[in-house]
Structure 1
């Protein structure tokens, strides 16, 4: 009798968990602005704006960018992804490889919120070339002027950072090195969990940018790592020039690049991290 009752309770509990998970996944699906699985193609699986990937010689020559990949050291790696294929940067990348951010990141000059989610695989202390590298940088100009980015520092061992730097003329008008200003606008992880042969999930969230209540958070493998707040620098873009820049100086794998139109909370970030077959699970 007791065993039968316990089995019934277990079934009900499992059913409820399944329903909650399905409901949350459906809700997350409705908030996807952009998703590139890199499975057999470079173009995004889901996009509100331009779905194509672009390559230019460098970021000063993006007006001459061509669709597709035109760097032999950056390739689609068959069956090397979290699921399916992945983007592989085989040598330190100096070319401009990007998706257009216009509409794909939901930028607003009045109040901008969202989440950028992706996976990386590398050993930063062994794989990267000397110097800093930015796997992701989202801006219309450069890394220190109205930009969101993550980077690996040139320390030994390497540190991992999330930066949210508003208009350069506001936060650093003289463009001088100022550690206090940098630290206020970055989250630094001194011992990040990246390993060779192991995928690491990164999520950066941003809330109410271009208001007086902006907040930025970093998560690694579903765990909260830090917050940037009480800064409130404006992020002024020429929206159509915005770019999702990929793999600046990076060596390693990248997969499952996704932009949501809202800042995911920690339970939602964990849900994305735990998706067995990646973001495509949300669309099945």
Structure 2
């Protein structure tokens, strides 16, 4: 049968539309089937702090370790045998939580090897966690780091969020390349202008007393010739980015995820992803966790 040109075009258009609809439906189904709108294959580490505190998902060692101090973190022991840090059932944003009750030098340590994206070419990743803290009431007049990723020193191939010491308690994202890369002249940190420091700061007033706050940060294009980008999100909302070249070198045998340095408050639902999540995905992590928490509270 010979079809007229118009009939051929109409049939082609119908078939193309059907194909596009099928693709869109499959994409929607794939997106909806993943937890919190993020592909579960991208989640490489999760600690919900239910049960004994060990990670629920881990590419490497899942054990929670306790160190007597930051300086003694290499001697950290597995398990949570502490009078200052506790796991509290039912007090988290979901399930249990990790609570830092008393000011002490003790810290929580997870091994970084295979629990973090490797420091290779075009390095990227994301960290998501929930904090309940009253910065102006609870925190000591010291640098306070709820989480730090480190293998050497705080200013040498390190990622962290912290509260600055002093009355303002500024909340900051720090992304420090290899020390010799970002500070080749070895300038004392206090002599480096605020704009030149690899940090992004916000007012701590975003943390409401005794309310859970979602914090997420991402990094991408690290260890490339282009500018890297590290972004900070609070309660699903984008807060800003550090844009500059970044070079990271990690010794994975010494790489650690450190929680709770000088911190007083609660920490929950720590997740680490092997890529930089998009803004919409960060918002989904926040909103869907709130929805799950609301459902739990009504059960």
Q: How far is 1:94 from its partner? A: 1.2
Partners of 2:72 and 2:169 in 1: how far apart? 30
CA gap 1:175/1:70 in 2 versus in 1, 3 angstroms: farther
Runs of 5+ consecutive residues of structure 2 not aligned to the other structure: 1-24
Q: How far is 1:139 from its partner? A: 1.1
Alignment-derived partner of residue 10 in structure 1:
none
Q: Is the 8 A contact 1:145 1:167 kept in 2?
A: yes
Q: Is the 8 A contact 1:92 1:248 kept in 2?
A: no
**SS across alignment from 1:164:** strand
Pairing partner for 1:95 from 101, 106, 131: 106
Partners of 1:104 and 1:70 in 2: how far apart? 23
Q: How far is 1:209 from its partner? A: 1.4
Pairing partner for 1:218 from 232, 238, 246: 232
Partners of 1:234 and 1:255 in 2: how far apart? 30
Superposition misfits of 4+ residues, deviation over 3 angstroms: 18-21, 23-27, 181-184
Alignment-derived partner of residue 188 in structure 2:
176
Partners of 2:125 and 2:211 in 1: how far apart? 26
Runs of 5+ consecutive residues of structure 1 not aligned to the other structure: 1-14
Larger mean CA deviation between 76-85 and 269-278 belongs to 269-278
Aligned length, in residue pairs: 263
With structure 1 as the length reference, what TM-score do the two structures score? 0.86
With structure 2 as the length reference, what TM-score do the two structures score? 0.82
**SS across alignment from 2:193:** helix
**SS across alignment from 2:87:** strand
Correspondences of 1:68-87 after superposition (within 5 Å): 68-87=79-98
CA gap 1:155/1:241 in 2 versus in 1, 3 angstroms: same
Matched, 1:128 2:136: no
Alignment-derived partner of residue 241 in structure 2:
227
Alignment-derived partner of residue 248 in structure 1:
261
Q: Is the 8 A contact 2:141 2:166 kept in 1?
A: no
Q: How far is 1:76 from its partner? A: 0.3
Pairing partner for 1:58 from 55, 69, 72: 69
Q: Is the 8 A contact 1:54 1:65 kept in 2?
A: yes
Alignment-derived partner of residue 287 in structure 2:
274
Q: How far is 1:149 from its partner? A: 0.3
CA gap 1:125/1:167 in 2 versus in 1, 3 angstroms: same
**SS across alignment from 1:30:** helix
Matched, 1:141 2:158: no
